[in-house]
Chain A
Amino acid sequence: MADDLKIPLLEELEKGPWPSFVSDIKSVADRKPMAADLLRQLEKSYEDKRGYWKHGGLVGVMGYGGGVIGRYSALPEDFPGVSHFHTVRVNQPSGWFYTTDALREIVDIWDEHGSGLFNMHGSTGDMVLLGTRTEELEPTFRALTEKGWDLGGSGSDMRTPSCCVGPARCQNACYDTMDMTYQLTQNYQDELHRPMFNYKFKMKMSGCPNDCTAAIARSDMAVIGIWKDDIKVNQEEFAKYLDDGFNVQEFVVEKCPTRCITVEGKEINIDNSNCVKCMHCINRMPKALAVGDDKGFAINIGAKAPIVEGALFGSVIVPFMKIEDGDYEELYDFIDRMWEFWDEHGTARERIGEFIERVSLATFLEGIEMEPSPKMVKAPRDNPYIFYEEYFAEEDEGEGEGEE
């Protein structure tokens, strides 16, 4: 098989010690002409130093404006196998948890209807089924939905929300990232499947400031778990780190960005009023330190990758919110107001972060009916997420000043 592929340049990529996508695609090339021609066309691109894909800006499934990304070969006579090579995005389950049965369902459907090649996971999180023909789109969609799967987002819509594993296996989780992702997906089905915005809108849920989904840098709405009270300390476990020879001074005390940790004898003290919740000390000593008890999340708006305009980081717009008894109304209400204002006043292909830069944060806040607050930190990775006086007022009569 490899001989009649004639792909010497690509085969260079199989020579290193690493897994190679060339070997992977080759492994299906003898039963899938689509995979064989994919390699051949790519080889030609390497030879000619240019791409040979055409945008198929219309193909999709009935009723949906997202989930299918159409591509045609610019050289269909030379590479008939990839004459059509449309991609199907499948909405991933929260936290990317699958049973092996579920994975087999996808594999079988794609073996029957597509190239057999797929990718876990795209940067939005979806499973990305690579390469099928126009006439296979509806049958693929039907086969997927019969098994309870759905397509994800693409185009100017709400992209498939995604999250870290959160409480499923991580003690740092400050809220249920998986439930929120599921609820948002269900609540905004129209926004997901029927593109109606100026441009794409991505949401990612991270359970704590470690931000395993990298939400702060690449999602229009980054929901990041946070706590308001003090870091929990287990002094006994802390003493064990010292006894085991762990260099707390060098690896923790001196690495704390605000230098708010002191150690006296075998006791650690944290000046929580100066802690910016960077997670470093907790990550280094997970047995001794843990996130606090008064947990919720901060919402950061406006991050995006550099396409069209430059890259942006998210800014804190909601410093703290909590989901109680599974009630998401407050969150939905915030999202609805934000979308409506952006939708009405944004220009075509203007991401919400660019929109806020253009109209100013003050105008944006006014438009979504929020009061400005010093807790709305512009770049929270350099600054505290939140600064809650009521916890740090040394138990004088000071009570909260009406913080929602």
Chain B
Amino acid sequence: MGDISTEQLAEECLAIVTENAGKKKIKAGDLQKAMAAKYGDQVDRKDVKAAIKELIDSGKCVYGYFGGSSIELPHVEGSAND
């Protein structure tokens, strides 16, 4: 296990998703790479997976699936009908 808490990772992942909202679709792999770049050996893939799980299960993020699965802020899709 890594040295960085799931909560902290979740917060940083959320920041990345928020920053890119409406601009770039963030995939699980992008968050993995970002955390690995920032923390190196201090985090492993399982830690980041747990952080993503936390974001999804708390409802802070949702999965999108247009052109491959992504992690997004909850919102109403532009294509949605009433």
Residues of chain B whose beta carbon lies under 8 Å from any beta carbon of chain A:
27-29, 32, 45, 49, 52-53, 56-57, 59, 62-69, 72, 75-77, 79-82
* Residues of chain A with a CB closer than 8 A to B62's CB: 58, 60
Cα distance A197–B32 in the bound complex, in angstroms:
11
- When the two chains form their complex, are residues A57 and B66 in contact, meaning their CB atoms are under 8 A apart? yes
Cβ of B57 to closest chain A Cβ, rounded Å: 6
Contact of B56 among A54, A65, A154 (CB under 8 A): A65
Contact with B along A327-351 (1 / 0, CB 8 A): 0000000000000100110101100
Tell me whether A84 and B81 are in contact in the complex, defined as CB-CB below 8 angstroms, given that A156-B27, A198-B29, A348-B27 are known contacts. Answer: yes
Cα distance A134–B66 in the bound complex, in angstroms:
17
Cα distance A182–B69 in the bound complex, in angstroms:
25
* Residues of chain A with a CB closer than 8 A to B57's CB: 63
- When the two chains form their complex, are residues B81 and A157 in contact, meaning their CB atoms are under 8 A apart? no
Cβ of B43 to closest chain A Cβ, rounded Å: 14
* Residues of chain B with a CB closer than 8 A to A70's CB: 77
Cα distance A63–B20 in the bound complex, in angstroms:
21
A-B contact pairs, 21 of them (CB 8 A): A55-B66, A55-B79, A57-B77, A58-B62, A58-B65, A58-B80, A60-B63, A63-B56, A65-B63, A134-B80, A155-B63, A194-B49, A194-B53, A194-B63, A195-B28, A195-B65, A196-B52, A343-B32, A344-B32, A346-B29, A349-B67
Tell me whether A57 and B65 are in contact in the complex, defined as CB-CB below 8 angstroms, given that A84-B81, A134-B80, A340-B45 are known contacts. Answer: yes
Contact of A157 among B53, B69, B76 (CB under 8 A): B69
- When the two chains form their complex, are residues B68 and A56 in contact, meaning their CB atoms are under 8 A apart? no
* Known pairs A57-B67, A154-B65, A155-B68 / 18 extra A-B pairs, C-beta < 8 Å: A56-B79, A57-B66, A57-B79, A58-B65, A58-B66, A59-B77, A63-B57, A65-B65, A72-B81, A73-B81, A134-B80, A156-B27, A194-B53, A196-B28, A198-B68, A344-B45, A346-B29, A349-B68
Tell me whether A194 and B29 are in contact in the complex, defined as CB-CB below 8 angstroms, given that A54-B79, A65-B69 are known contacts. Answer: no
Cβ of A116 to closest chain B Cβ, rounded Å: 20
Cα distance A346–B30 in the bound complex, in angstroms:
12
Cβ of A154 to closest chain B Cβ, rounded Å: 7
- When the two chains form their complex, are residues B59 and A62 in contact, meaning their CB atoms are under 8 A apart? yes
Closest 9 CB pairs of A and B: A57-B66, A65-B63, A195-B69, A155-B69, A156-B69, A155-B65, A196-B28, A54-B79, A58-B77
Cβ of A71 to closest chain B Cβ, rounded Å: 9
- When the two chains form their complex, are residues A199 and B68 in contact, meaning their CB atoms are under 8 A apart? yes
Cβ of B31 to closest chain A Cβ, rounded Å: 10
Cα distance A72–B45 in the bound complex, in angstroms:
36
Cβ of A250 to closest chain B Cβ, rounded Å: 51
Most buried by B among A65, A66, A76, A198: A65
Q: Does A96 contact B (CB under 8 A)?
A: no
Q: Does A138 contact B (CB under 8 A)?
A: no
Contact with B along A189-203 (1 / 0, CB 8 A): 010001111110000
* Residues of chain B with a CB closer than 8 A to A56's CB: 77, 79-80
